[in-house]
Copies of this chain bind each other. A is one copy, B any other.
Amino acid sequence: MSATNPPTRPALRARYDERRQALIDAAAKLFAERGYEQTSIGDLSGATGLAAGGIYHYTASKEGLLIAICDELLDPLLAQARTIAATDAPPDAHLRDLLRAWLLHIESHIPHMLVFTQERHTIEREPQWRAVRRKREDFEQILDTVLVAGEADGSMAFEDRGLALLALLGMVNYAPQWLRPGGRRSAEEIADVWCNLFIAPASRGASPGRAIYDRA
């Protein structure tokens, strides 16, 4: 009966939210491991302890879980990106901070990110996914704007800025395939190394991030 109608009394609401979160997390994990289509409601039932029917108290549909996963991935990321870009730091600091936040977020949302990547055909094709697509585009737009600014003030050097953006998107989107928390390099270190690929030699090593990294 609910799914769209979560309880309003605060005590119940808290429990509801908690369980919904657990469901989404379980879904992200299973979808990432087996694929969205290859994961059945029965699998989710097994992973959550909820019976098949019970799942529908927390989501209107299986696709709703997929949307929730994407939202959980994109909403905080976009919010952070906007905050960072609104700062009056120079463009190279923006880039560095963006990359760091981005990789940190991915590191804590690896299954979400894997799902987001492998369901591209769904997200890009279906009309009901417009909102999600828009968020992804907004994030890329912020990134591009930073690169433009960096090129303008000479703190970044590109042979071809468009290709640089695409390279950046590629390397970061690929990270969930290998990045693991507690790995040899922290997400922030990786961000700094990659950032340097585009920072003009003169500006390198100047930022706080860089300093920290050098000490490590």
Contacts and interface: CB of A to CB of B under 8 A. Distances in A.
B35 A121 contact: yes
Q: How many of chain A's residues touch chain B, expressed as a range?
A: 35 or more
Interface in A33-69: 33-35, 37-38, 41-42, 45, 51-52
Interface in A157-183: 159-160, 162-163, 166-175, 177-178
Interface in A106-154: 114, 117-122, 125
A171 B177 contact: no
Contacts of A1: 41-42, 45, 51-52
Contacts of A178: 166
A194 interface: yes
Given A34-B125, A35-B37, A118-B121, A160 B185 contact: yes
A33 B37 CA distance: 15
Interface of A: 1, 32-35, 37-38, 41-42, 45, 51-52, 114, 117-122, 125, 159-160, 162-163, 166-175, 177-178, 184-185, 190, 193-194, 196-197
